[in-house]
Structure 1
């Protein structure tokens, strides 16, 4: 029976599911995942299972990782990919974890190598085109403890990863249902508005680090979509609308954030 043979072959290569106790513990520790409806939580569980099976985690410089922390990182990494599907996780395999911020000897963004980072010389995260996702475990933990402050290093770097699916980061990830011209126009206008503001201005809740490039702007507002969507919608309604169309409804919606 060909059908039975194919099912047997698929079962042999299908990753083992996340154990129920570990998954419940992960949901308890990840407020962004808890904010999803049950159907999206189930999709997140499936995508996280594939992420854990396909990505290699490396603990560096004394960082300590266990199954629980690998799951928490996978869950947050898969949130931006939830609506885009498994194909959006393609093209890279390594997840490098440092205990805290790490220093690099290059600019935070290199068009030749497709490298995008988050910070100045000391980085909380970095993403390479066709290369690793690099994270500070201390910053991951802080984001879990303060999930609604507008920052999330895993989401930020995964936004770069999605952006780099079609080449060096330019703030425009592959789009299916959203008109590309509309995306580019609205993001450029919003980026230009932020650039025109003085760095110490309180006129925008968007972190001025987003003025580094349109690619960084996309990553920064992606963080806000997941952790401060109401504030983003007030500041840049067109951007908030585009991100909801791209990522889906924010898990923070309904919480007044």
Structure 2
């Protein structure tokens, strides 16, 4: 009886949220036109993405910084991109926090780093996005609009992949595995593919001579920044899966299959989920 009541209440909340935060047809079409990497989705998937984006908007609080005007177009664009990774999973993966803060462009973050001698330093660096554990996602609107799919860059997908990764309590490139979605994929199978791919990529980056570094950055599908930490490798590869799936599958087929199975999406249409 209690489970039936809970499902009824959840349905009522869902319906109320969809009524309160509808996405107009014209705005939704403009959003799709600006996000060409969504073309792999069929009409039913796009309808589910639209509904999920409305629910996301109902659950989150959007704000801006440095005088940036918050518009419906910004909110819907970010919501659609944020919901893409969890389209076949659940918005529950984004529970426990509410804030999405949008800056006009890159912003400065302060980090504590430890050098090889064990000395701790406070450093400042420019960032296009940041995800806080238990806190907001912070995004550069300038970067969030870089969605032409000419490379594998997508700051929204990147930061929301971090949010998923954080659910285990440790942001380490080993996101949570749920039996209802991911069986028979388990932690050992994940580590066997992911850790091996990460180590190989780090070795590849380390082997690039200084004189060829700029060329390597231009030609590498996976941003060399991904070698900084397994969590960054997971986030950058998540970008590639959704934004450049064909190239990603061709260059990293085993890693593509792993992430496709994790997100339960096959944007390159390889049949891996069949």
TM-score bin (small chain): 0.7 to 0.9
2:94 corresponds to 1:89: yes
Unaligned runs of 5+ in 2: 115-123
Q: How far did residue 156 of structure 1 move?
A: 0.5
Alignment of structure 1 residues 14-53 onto 2, 5 Å: 14-16=17-19, 17-53=22-58
Q: Equivalent of 1:121, from 125, 143, 163? A: 125
Worse overlay, 201-210 or 212-221 = 201-210
Structure 1 vs Structure 2 CA RMSD: 2.6
SS at match of 1:81: coil
In structure 1, C-alpha distance between the alignment counterparts of 2:42 and 2:61, rounded to whole Å = 29
In structure 2, C-alpha distance between the alignment counterparts of 1:238 and 1:252, rounded to whole Å = 13
Question: Normalized against structure 1, the TM-score is what?
Answer: 0.84
Q: How far did residue 163 of structure 1 move?
A: 0.6
Q: Equivalent of 2:201, from 185, 190, 194? A: 194
Please identify which structure carries the higher helix content. Answer: 2
Provide the aligned length of Structure 1 versus Structure 2.
Answer: 239
Partner of residue 165, structure 2: 163
SS at match of 2:128: strand
Bigger Rg over Cα: 2
Question: Normalized against structure 2, the TM-score is what?
Answer: 0.79
Q: Equivalent of 1:239, from 255, 259, 274? A: 255
CA contact (8 A) 1:227 1:252 kept: no
Q: Equivalent of 1:105, from 105, 110, 124? A: 110
1:43-91 per-residue CA deviation (whole Å, 9 max, x = no partner) reads: 1111101111111111101222200111001000110111211211211
CA contact (8 A) 1:150 1:223 kept: yes
2:82 corresponds to 1:55: no
